[in-house]
Amino acid sequence: MIREAKIEDIPQIQVVRNAVKENMLSNPNLVTDEDCVEFMTSRGKGWVCEIDQCITGFSIVDLKEHNIWALFVHPDFEKQGIGRKLHDVMLNWYFEQTKEPVWLGTSPKTRAETFYRMTGWKEIGMHGKGEVKFEMTHSDWSQIKRTIRT
């Protein structure tokens, strides 16, 4: 169900990205296919959730900027645990590569903000155009992983 993203997944990744109801892009052309290739290959890595050959969610982490570049689930597949699985696979891989803290930004008062708080991210301020900035440290993730297993 969860697997590493491939370049040929990008058209379906873009469908998911542009279908979301929260944290929508003001202009879909702001995230190009070339951006996806760069973040999935040279800057970091990505994963997809695939159900019946249809990508239902994806995540991409950026090792260069130590940032979660994307974590989105298609609205038709929300509340099935897909986002959490993508999140956990992504953070496990990230912290196998580095012990540097990772950060992300998300719009305030969204389900995404609630999700990140519930999964152990710490708010560290604001970012960009009014986004809440969160951080996850290696030690925090190690502790969360232990709690998940027990």
CB neighbours of 15 closer than 8 A, spacing ≥ 6? Answer: 55, 74
- Per-residue confidence at 149, pLDDT binned at 50, 70, 90? low
pTM of the model: 0.91
Tell me, rounded to whole angstroms, the distance of Cα 49 from its chain centroid: 12
User: For the chain, how many structural domains are there in total?
Assistant: 1
Q: What is the CATH number of the domain that holds 133?
A: 3.40.630.30
Q: Which of 25-29, 52-56, 62-66, 73-77 has the lowest mean pLDDT?
A: 25-29
The 10s digit of each residue's pLDDT in 17-28 is 999 877 666 666
Q: What is the mean pLDDT of the chain?
A: 92
- Give yes or no for a contact between 107 and 113, defined as CB atoms under 8 angstroms apart: yes
Range of the domain at 49: 2-149
Rounded to 10 deg, the angle between the 138-149 and 82-97 helix axes is 130
Task: Supply φ then ψ for residue 104, to 5 degrees.
Answer: -155, 160
